[in-house]
Each structure stands twice: as C-alpha cells, then as structure tokens.
C-alpha cells in the first residue's frame, strides 16, 4: 500500500457496544431517552439504530457494565488488508469477528488494546443513502450518530503509539510536566478533531459519545426534562473539538456524552499543543465537572 493510499485507513467510529446487566431494562431506556430503534437481536446483544437514517450506532450486550467493544470502519478492502498486514508486522494478535458484529459487515477483526478493551476494525457494505426506519420514524425523531469514546490509562503515550498502527493520528496533546509522557491526547481517523480521547488515570472507559446536530442538541435537553432524566454534567462547550456537550448516565451508570457537531481540523494537520488553562479546555463557558465525572468510570 502506498503512502498516499494509506493516508486515511478508517472512516470513523462505526458503533460501540455497551454492557448492561439487564438487557430489557437497558433497551427500554435507550429507546425512551435517546429514541434509538432495535434493528437486530442476538442471544445476548441488541443493535440499535437512528430512526432517521437507519444506521446502526450502538449496541447493548447482556452482562456487567462498561464497554464490550468499539468498532471503527475501514475505508475499503485495501485499507483493511493494510491494517492486518501492519498488525502482523509488529506481532500484534487479532481475531476474526465477522460472525460476531453487526449485519452488513463483509469482514471484521478485533484486537485487544493496551487498556484491555476490545477494538474492532470493520469492513462493511455501503448502505447508500440514509433511509428512515419504516414504522419507527416520527416527527421530531433524533438523528443520533456515533462520535467518539474516551479511555483512561496510566500510559497515554503507549496507547497512542499502539493506535497509530491502526490509522489514528494525534490532533491535540497535553504533555506531563518533567516527562516525555502525556496527560491528554485527542486522536482522529478522519478530518474531525477526535474519534478517540485518552486521558491519564486508572485504566478504563470513561464514556461513549453520540452526536446530534446543534438544533437537536438543544431540543434533547427539553426532552430530558420531559422524561425527568437528569444530566450528570452540562450543557457546556469543550475547547477541544469546539462542540457542545452534555453527560448523562443510563440506569446502570454507564456514561454517555451527547455532543453537538465537532470542528474539522484536516486529515493531515500536525499535532497541536493545547495551551489554554485546564478549566477552559474542559468547558469554555466555565462550570466544571462534578466529582462523579472526575472519579467514576463506566
């Protein structure tokens, strides 16, 4: 594969699968609060899609809490094979997951990343134009789309260097004082600011993020009020990505970030040092995260 064709290996985040101890209770909440629609069910997993586009954005898996796996979509067959060759070259083990992922996949593999989480690379059929789900689309339905995940680790540099094998590039970083390590790195696979964020901390998954357009974002806040579903934090505006944010937790304390659209930075832009004060990075409007956001993972 040439340097030119290897420039972009992944289109973005395809879907994430969240663990829940009670699948039916979880499904009811994700349908009622986020408006997602069940489109595929297996023995212990349900896939959910946007009623507006028909595209799968999230899955729920029975058992425990946290992240079962996160899936990023390969640009094409050439990119998928390039990634497998790179994994072979550096001696990283992976396993086929074509029989254990969403419908529409033509190939898939999973690799265990340094935090212990399962990351999937999926090659999927082109769905074509967005198609509302018959019988499920309603006026005012939310067009929910995948955005990013945030991971915590004590070795931000090590995780970032591992992800570079898969086609991730650093957008913004905060170095650790008196060290060659990093406190924060935001990584992208396309021209949006980040599809994966890494922060220093006890290894784990902090949140899964879903995106709405800006009008729907503000309407979603009123929807939460109607449902009497309290937000954990927000609304606010992150400096990195320049997007609106709101954090909510499902009945099992899994954390979801609901965001507005993210800024574009260019696929080949070099990494940028974050230079603003910490509070401004977190929320340009001022109010900072509660203790639960700072100390509790999914």
DSSP per-residue codes, 222-285: HHHHHHT---SEEEEE-STT--EEEEEE-TT--EEEEE-PPPB--TTPPPEE--S-HHHHH-TT
The predicted pLDDT at position 110 comes to 99
The predicted pLDDT at position 249 comes to 99
Mean pLDDT calculated for residue range 271-287:
94
DSSP-derived 3-state class of residue 15: strand
* 160-209: pLDDT as tens digits: 999 999 999 999 999 888 777 788 999 999 999 999 999 999 999 999 99
Asked if pLDDT for residue 2 goes beyond 60, the answer is: no
Asked if pLDDT for residue 1 goes beyond 70, the answer is: no
Calpha distance 124→241 (Å, rounded): 27
List beta partners, residue 108.
122
CATH classification number, 145-295, choose in 3.10.180.10, 3.65.10.10, 1.10.443.10, 3.40.50.620:
3.10.180.10
Helix, strand, coil percentages, rounded to 5, for the chain: 20, 35, 40
The predicted pLDDT at position 245 comes to 99
pLDDT band at 126 (very low <50, low <70, confident <90, very high): confident
Residue ranges per domain, the chain? 10-124, 145-295
pLDDT band at 11 (very low <50, low <70, confident <90, very high): very high
Distance of CA 292 to the CA centre of its chain: 20
**Range of lowest pLDDT (3-17, 58-72, 146-160):** 3-17
pLDDT band at 50 (very low <50, low <70, confident <90, very high): very high
Closest residue by Cα to residue 193 from 274, 264, 284: 264
Q: Are strands 118-124 and 182-188 parallel, antiparallel or unpaired?
A: unpaired
Q: What are phi and psi of 40, to 5 degrees?
A: -160, 135
Calpha distance 228→30 (Å, rounded): 14
The predicted pLDDT at position 89 comes to 98
The predicted pLDDT at position 43 comes to 86
The predicted pLDDT at position 37 comes to 98
Calpha distance 143→54 (Å, rounded): 9
- 145-295 matches 10-124 in CATH topology: yes
CATH architecture of 10-124: Roll (3.10)
Mean pLDDT calculated for residue range 12-21:
99
Asked if pLDDT for residue 38 goes beyond 70, the answer is: yes
The alpha helices in 103-213, defined as continuous H runs, are 156-164
């Amino acid at each position: 594969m040439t340097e030119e064709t290897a420039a972009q290996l992944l289109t973005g985040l395809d879907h994430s699968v969240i663990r829940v101890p009670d699948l039916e209770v979880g499904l009811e909440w994700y349908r009622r609060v986020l408006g997602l629609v069940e489109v595929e069910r297996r023995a212990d997993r349900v896939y959910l899609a946007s009623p507006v586009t028909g595209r799968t954005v999230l899955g729920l898996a029975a058992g425990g809490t946290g992240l079962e796996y996160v899936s990023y979509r390969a640009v094409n067959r050439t990119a998928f094979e390039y990634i497998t060759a790179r994994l072979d070259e550096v001696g990283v083990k992976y396993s086929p997951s074509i029989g254990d992922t969403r419908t529409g996949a033509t190939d898939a593999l999973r690799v265990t990343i340094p935090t212990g989480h399962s990351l999937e690379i999926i090659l999927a059929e082109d769905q074509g134009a967005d198609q509302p789900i018959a019988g499920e689309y309603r006026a005012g339905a939310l067009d929910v789309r995948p955005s990013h995940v945030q991971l915590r680790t004590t070795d931000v540099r090590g995780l970032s260097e591992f992800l570079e094998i898969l086609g991730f590039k650093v957008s913004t970083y905060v170095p650790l004082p008196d060290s060659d390590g990093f406190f924060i790195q935001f990584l992208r696979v396309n021209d949006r600011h980040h599809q994966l964020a890494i922060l220093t901390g006890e290894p784990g998954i902090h949140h899964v993020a879903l995106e709405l357009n800006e009008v729907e974002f503000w309407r979603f806040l009123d929807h939460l009020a109607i449902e009497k579903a309290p937000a954990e934090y927000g609304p606010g505006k992150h400096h990195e990505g320049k997007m609106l944010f709101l954090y909510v937790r499902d009945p099992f304390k899994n954390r979801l970030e609901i965001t507005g659209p993210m800024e574009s930075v260019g696929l080949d832009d070099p990494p940028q040092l974050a230079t603003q004060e910490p509070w401004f990075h977190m929320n340009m409007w001022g109010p900072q995260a509660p203790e639960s956001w700072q100390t509790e993972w999914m």
